[in-house]
Structure 1
Amino acid sequence: MRRLRPGLAAAALGSLLALAVVAPASAADPSGPAGASIDHAEVRDGGVRLLVSVPASGTVDVGGVDVEVAGKAARSTTAAATGNADVRRTTVLAIDTSNSMRGERIAAAKRAAALFLDTAPPDVAVGLVSFDDDVQVLVEPSRDRAALRRAVAGLTLTRDTALYDGVLGAVEASGGQGARSLLVLSDGKDTTDTPLSEVLRTLEQEDVSVDVVSLDQGDAASQPLQLIARAGGGQVMDADPASLSATFAGEADALRRQLAVDVTLPQGTEPQADVTVTLPVDGRAVTASAFLTVGSAEPAAEPVQAPAATGPVAAAGPRIDLPPAAVAVGVGAIGLGLLGMVVALFVVRPGASKDEKLRKQLEAYGVYGAPQSRDQAPADQGLGAQARQVAEKALAGNQGLEARIAARLDKAGMSLKPAEWLLVHAGVTVLAAVLGMLLSRGNILLALVFLALGAAGGWVYLGLRKSRRLKAFASGLADTLQLMSGSLSAGLSLAQSVDTIVKEGSDPIAGEFRRVIVESRLGVPLEESLGGVAERMESKDFEWVVMAIKIQRQVGGNLAELLLQVAATLREREYLRRQVLALSAEGRLSAYILGALPPVFLLYLSVSNPDYVSVFFTTTIGYFLLGVMAVLLVVGFTWMLKVAKVDV
């Protein structure tokens, strides 16, 4: 039976409640300033036993208790529930042990729980459940007060607040027989993905009453707590650390003041009827009324098992509840499977035939990443080949995208084809989304953020490779021109001097000049091939060199001396560029440090003290502030880099 305090009595009068061997009853409607309530009902042969809470003030005349069933007077006997071995009562303390309870709060909670154990009747079985990022049943309901005190003294804190799971765990720990009640203590909102509707549905179906103590929350969490208490026929009590002990002592005293009323049903009583208990308290009558399933007036050979709910129960389809660990393992398995597919596609490849090797060698000197001809059948028809064919078909309808991807791969010095790059990029994006889902425990918003980072990360990686390659080409260009000048002075032709660079140079210059040699052997003019190198390397300096070579080829002159002069000019420019970089290093380093400090510190706080920054990720204003801060941070970081950058 769900017990409603006076503040919630009016809301419970219209409820239809369930009754099995242990049946729930509605709350009382008090008739005075302090009322009584029917906390529990249990069907017996030809009658029903009621568990009634009496007012906190005043003395109840036990001999004067009257009971009416369906408007008819019923015979009854009343006795104190405390000390009655035939009355089974169970109470579970569910205590919040998240990091927000640190300091005086957890100390006050321990004192209040210890006082509850000292005050509660010794025949009441008490259990202890803690909830933070996990729910732990520390002590099963028992009368061993020593074990309970040790468990209370050993409460430790950790992050997150699994409030809803804690209520569900306490309901399960309370068992399924006798009068069951929960006393929930929490100082924060639920931070898990468990829906509140599941908690409310469980409380409406179970024969258990719930009182909630809201510690230093005010109205911030009143609505979900009020819904939980209302579904459990209890109330929400606001408290602070100083008043917590008094609140728990009041709950224990309510258990001590309960009465057991055995009612004999009048003849002809329907299985469901209104029950009214009138208690004489200091000369005035206090009533508690409820609509109950009371069974039948005729005695039965065996206890009647009433249905668990009086209202219609919707047929539920098959449902499998998986623990969070199983979900995490499943998502991780999907991620590993995707990673394995990427490895199978692009790391473990079958050996190529001679024709295939020749085709790839020719492609390497055309456009990096040029796709395979559509009318050619791939050499292998495995999973990798099929996936590449799908990507090639996707790119076939967008030649512009294929050309842009090929150009970026070309400048980054990667030998992947556009279709292969598209598959790798898609795999990395999906893996990033899976990683975000795992780290956030199913937070869709964070998973989308990781998905966006994974999608942008591939292009950022290409940009970094391209930048390093261009810098390496520019830094080695002066030495390359000097080597060419020396080769020309020794009597070699321009083509032979280029071949010398291929043999003695290092990448990326050697690779680009090797491509020049192959293109010239295929009929492309040497000056045009060298111009392609300047275009791919985005080098103004090498454009001047190519221009000088073209002019020398047309009008004549000493090309070796010209290249030597250009090499000296490039060295001077490189020296000046490095000097400027050294002088501006402090400004760039300041931009990096100041730009990285806010996100790194936010990440540190998210790990060390998540409750402190949880408002950014759980409220609308928090999301808005994060967006504003991200925009301001990007603008400030870009501005500082622009100020520190000097073009030479």
Structure 2
Amino acid sequence: MITPTEAKRLLLAFLIALIALLLLAPPVSAQESGDEAPTVEEVENAALLTVTSVERDPETGEVTIEAVSPIELAGGRLPESSISVLANDAFQQFSYAPENTDALQIMLVIDVSGSMLGEPLDAMKEAALSFIDRLPPSVRIGVVTFANQPEVIAPIGTPFDVVSDSISELEVGGETALFDALVTASDALVETEGAPRSVIVALTDGADGASIALPEDAARALDVGRIELHGVALETPDTATEFLADLSLKTGGSFNRAANESLLALYDDLAARLANRFTISFIPNRESSDSAFVVISHQGVLASARVGYEPIEASAATESVGRGESALEVADSATSFALAQPFRMENVGWIGSNTARNIAVGLLAGTLLMFGLLLSFPTPRMTTLASRGREYATNAQVSDFTTRLEGFADRRLDSHGRRSKLTRSLERAGIDLRPGEYVVVAGSAAIAVAFISSLFVPWILSLVFAGAVILGSRALLARQARVRVDDFIEQLPSTLQLIAGALRAGYALPQCAETVASEAESPTADEFHRLVTEHRLGRDFGEALQAMADRIDREEFTWVVQALEIHRTVGGDLAEVLDNINGTLRDRNFVKRQVSALTAEGRYSAYVILSLPFIVAGVLMVTNPEYIGRLFDGLRGALAIMFVFLLMAIGSLWMKMLLKAKY
């Protein structure tokens, strides 16, 4: 059986070997071809190259990468000399095959129902015209519009300028016959010969309400023609496009929701994805290779991506990846393209082997601690959109090991009935992590602290430190939730005043919520933005408001929700009711601040008393380390430290209860 000391030595040896391996990595070789390689500064500022799939042949070891040209280069064909492939710290020989756009036909299916009047129509026209401009001239395109019934306004093969003129002259009116339009567009594509790849790009802002065809008819028509459907839904209160989303994914296409202002960027990227694909194939110079970098440098545009694949020893697997890693990670991970000799131990002769070992361990320890602490620290919850309005960009790849850990953590939380509670705590704290992710991050930080502390203190004390990290992560979560809710309640009087003013100005309650979401400060703006979003997606406003009250879980906001529900039931002057609640809240806040001022001396005395043990211990470690070292030597010292922390926790809770104001 391995003793704790032996286990510590094995772990230390593993870390030294790992650091040495990283430090002694060979430099990147120069590119074989005559093209000049990008510099580090250029790569750091590169855009992100979109990679759609990666596959490796298990027999030959050949890697096939399918990617999309950057939007800035849409409509043209990339020369082979503009592409570089780096694997195993060396540039690879590869074959390059751009997609044959002569065999591509695209049918634009556009909603021109009455709900598209105004800004949605203008945004649609701008996006569709830009989409056409970014297509290569060899692509055949057509347009089908639909309101009460579909109409082919531009058959497949219509010249681009004629199609653009037809779109510019579109007018709206009527209901939505989406299913009929999909059937009509599919039939028009099937009747065209000589185009093995057929694509429909369908835009709508609401659910079907006028079609003769059934959803099954539309799905059957797409399946018969082997047509790829890309659905786009404009975000409106009437948007209900679950069928379009499911059908798009089943046909191998994509589905995206977009606001009016982001529709242009979405269509531009769709054009790049549909008509600017290319394939790269190469055989790595090492069979154990598991990743490569693809860099494009053409006409002043620089884009890069890192892709992963299975080593030849393992079974080949096809992976779909979203956006590649950032160009800065390319420079860091592969030491980029123009770095000189790498850092080696023998190059630092002014330090000894023990110092080098400590530096290596310290570097890894610092990295682990920073990683855990940064991810454990609460961050404001926000909806993360992909750059340039690409809301539909897929998440970056996560390792299978991490995924399994998160799944295991989720299952354990479910088995103990704690997942929903942790989810609610994360939402209240505004932390953008799932429960499994949070548990994995906290556990990783605890393991790192336990390992590093075991190098300097007895193993049982290192376990105490690990437990302190776990408890500290929960305390941080609770504190962040409390601080965020307190900030919300602190802003509530101003929020109610804003709502009351909007009501007196003639706004409806949902419009008042939108006003708060756009004009208030965080976290009030964040919570009301979520309320507005849930309402737009079809949830009843009262239910969304009650869910918001459950997240906040404070009686002050519960009063507001109850007042709003009573007003919705019996009517009355809601603005006056909110003013009365506002006055009560301001009085409570005044009392709270007064109590805080009167108890300030007691609170700061408690802070000083709680900090004294740490200050004294730190001074003794510097002035008389042998004396205080006995405290860390053996089981009795560890138990004494645990008892001290327990007493400090009890004293802290007691002081908190004494100083807590009750109304």
- TM-score in terms of structure 1 length: 0.43
- TM-score in terms of structure 2 length: 0.42
Considering only CA atoms, is the larger Rg found in Structure 1 or Structure 2? 1
